[in-house]
Amino acid sequence: MKTVLIYFSYTGKTKILAEQKAKEEGADLLPLTLIKRRGNFLTYTVGSLCARSHRKAKLHSFNTDLSQYERVIIAMPIWAGYPAPAINNVLPLIKRGSSVELIFTSGSGNSQKSGEYVKSVLSGNGVKVTGITDIKASEI
């Protein structure tokens, strides 16, 4: 089964986790990168508001055809209780019938709200969520 690990990382912690997991799983790695990187204050202030309203981010394009993967792993930071906006860009692109594993990274808090939101988006597109892992950034 062909696997891709998609991730967004602002601080680098989710990147470390994603690289380790991709190596363990033999997965292709697909980083999501912002077109314009702002300072921390603006990123987290504006980013948190966008995360709460489920908006997308302006990302560099990627040339990976997600339809070729049966299994997808998505590693994402949680901002204001929801996935960072970059993740909203890829959720609709995951092929119907795919299996998805979710990995949340956060400074604190509970990923329950995040998990419910992402599962509802994916299941609405015919994608099955097979697992959710919540990792605190301090553990990376």
Three-state secondary structure string covering 79-112: ECCEECHHHHHHHHHCCCCCEEEEEEEECCCCCH
Percentages of the chain per state (helix, strand, coil), in multiples of 5:
40, 30, 30
| pTM score, whole prediction | 0.91
Fold of the domain spanning 3-139: Rossmann fold (3.40.50)
d(CA 19, CA 66): 18
Domain boundaries along the sequence of the chain: 3-139
Average pLDDT over residues 20-29: 97
Nearest to 121 by CA among 112, 129, 110, 111: 129
* 3-class secondary-structure state, position 78: strand
Task: Name the more confident of 73 and 138.
Answer: 73
Question: Which amino acid is present at 110?
Answer: N
Alpha-carbon distance of 104 to 16, in angstroms, equals: 13
CA 50/CA 47 separation, integer angstroms: 5
- Predicted confidence band of residue 48 (pLDDT cuts 50, 70, 90): confident
Token digits for 40?
């921390």
φ/ψ region of 52 (left if φ > 0, alpha if ψ in -120 to 50, else beta) reads: alpha
Average confidence score pLDDT of the chain: 90
| β 82-83/71-79 pair status | antiparallel
**Lowest model confidence (mean pLDDT) among 34-43, 53-62, 114-123:** 34-43
